[in-house]
Amino acid sequence: MSNTPITSTVTTPQIAENFLGAMFALTGVLTDATQGSIVRTYGEAVGAITELASATATASTFQGGVYGAYSAFGITPIAATSATTTVTFSSTTPVTSAVYIPAGTIVATVSGIQFYTNAAVTIAANTSSASVGVTAQTPGASGNVQANTITQILSGVTYPISVTNPTAATGGTNQETPQQTAARFSAKINSIGTTSPIAVANAVIGVNYQGEYVVQSSVYEPWITNPSAGAGFTIYIDNGSGTASSNLIQAVTNFINTTPGYRPAGVPYTIDPVTAIDVTITVTGVVFSQYANELSTLESAIQSSVESYMSSVQIGQSITLGSISAAAANGAPSALSSLNVSFSTGGDTITAAYNQRIIATSVTVNLTS
């Protein structure tokens, strides 16, 4: 067996050409192989299947190598987490007999985001309410709903009562993207074997407190521009939403102080959350006539592309209308005849300082044909 590594997959035209050549070599009869002929069509069909199998095998091998490298350094993709909150079931008047509400009762927002009760709860006789914790059915940031929006009871209760959530649901995070996993892996590599402030900042990426993770970090050393400022540095951390809780800051502090080899001895430091620059992004455009029946699909694809780009924007990185336009166009390649992007802040550039990160609070896409 040859030890020559596979550098690329074979293509459908190459396979079809080899197939036709083999037929001629075996039979000695020149066969009609023009475009559209039965023999050529069959050859191309076989070629397409073989090419797909070859590409899949190559991709699987590459993916195995990547995840093997991740595993060697303790890096695994972070799964999505479900939002939680507390709901209160209420009756307009005290109930005459106990009302039992089983665990797993489904409640929801008007928009259809569902939660289930974590335990059974009972509205005792001669009382009018009872509270219980709930968890979003579907993990992800979509479960972080506002207070008093869980108002629908979908199962488990026959007595005429109502429900609401006095406090907002929190803690829902989306599954880490491959790009974010790769960034944590790079940060891990960059943090090994050194105690420089940059290495410390890289090392804290991935530190978490009860499902809240450091997604990005940056370091600021004031003495670089102001020598009289003295030694020391500040690490700014971001949980992916343009901030970080005090609990996550404490977790990062504990990590630096207790992990050998990360903190330079005797050098003072502080950990602060980044400051978010909130912006809403509006994308409008016109599609070519052949895409007139696909407006909703294209709008979703463009929104997803822009949101993906914004999730990759780093601390201190500025954005422009041009960069957002490129991301939007990538969501619907060849479908748009015109495109326009605007920021809620106005202007064509949003500039972030060393301790700021630009966060898209919403991305709205409206297309016409």
Q: Are 348 and 320 in contact (CB under 8 A)?
A: yes
Confidence (pLDDT) at 159: 84
Residue 171 domain-assigned (yes or no): no
Average pLDDT over residues 348-366: 93
Confidence (pLDDT) at 7: 44
Last residue of a domain, one of 209, 242, 273: 273
Tokens (6 digits) for 351 = 């500039």
For residues 186 and 190, give the distance between their C-alpha atoms in angstroms, rounded to a whole number.
Answer: 6
**Higher per-residue confidence, 77 vs 123:** 123
**Higher per-residue confidence, 147 vs 62:** 147
If asked whether residues 50 and 88 sit together in one domain, one would say no
If asked whether residues 324 and 241 sit together in one domain, one would say no
For residues 166 and 152, give the distance between their C-alpha atoms in angstroms, rounded to a whole number.
Answer: 14
If asked whether residues 160 and 223 sit together in one domain, one would say no
- How big is the chain, counted in residues? 369
DSSP string, 98-136: -EEE-TT-EEEETT--EEEESS-EEE-TT--EEEEEEEE
Last residue of a domain, one of 242, 273, 304: 273
The residue type of 356 is Q
Q: What is the enclosing helix (H) or strand (E) of 256?
A: helix 246-258
DSSP classification of residue 204: T
Residue 112 domain-assigned (yes or no): yes
If asked whether residues 90 and 49 sit together in one domain, one would say no
pLDDT tier, 14 (very low <50, low <70, confident <90, very high otherwise):
low
Last residue of a domain, one of 247, 273, 299: 273
Whole-number mean pLDDT of the chain? 83
If asked whether residues 282 and 357 sit together in one domain, one would say yes
Q: 219-239 burial, b for 16+ CB within 10 Å, e for fewer? A: bbbeeeeeeeeeeebbbbbbb
Residue 263 domain-assigned (yes or no): yes
Tokens (6 digits) for 288 = 């070519």
Q: What are the pLDDT digits (tens) for 173-205?
A: 888 888 888 777 777 666 555 557 777 888 888
DSSP string, 294-331: GHHHHHHHHHHHHHHHHHHPPTT--EEHHHHHHHHHHH
Tokens (6 digits) for 188 = 């891990």
Average pLDDT over residues 285-296: 91
Confidence (pLDDT) at 351: 95
DSSP classification of residue 363: E
Domain of residue 105, residue span: 84-164
Residue 193 domain-assigned (yes or no): yes
If asked whether residues 252 and 282 sit together in one domain, one would say no
The residue type of 270 is T
For residues 112 and 6, give the distance between their C-alpha atoms in angstroms, rounded to a whole number.
Answer: 49
Distance between start and end Cα atoms, the chain = 57
Q: What are the pLDDT digits (tens) for 38-75?
A: 555 656 666 666 666 656 655 555 555 655 666 666 77
If asked whether residues 268 and 310 sit together in one domain, one would say no
Count: domains in the chain: 4
For residues 235 and 253, give the distance between their C-alpha atoms in angstroms, rounded to a whole number.
Answer: 10
For residues 153 and 109, give the distance between their C-alpha atoms in angstroms, rounded to a whole number.
Answer: 9
Measured at the CA of 78, the angle between CA 301 and CA 53, to 5 degrees, comes to 60
Reply yes or no on whether the pLDDT at 16 is more than 90.
Answer: no
pTM over 0.75: no
Tokens (6 digits) for 10 = 């074979």
If asked whether residues 192 and 265 sit together in one domain, one would say yes
* Chain mean position to CA 118: 26
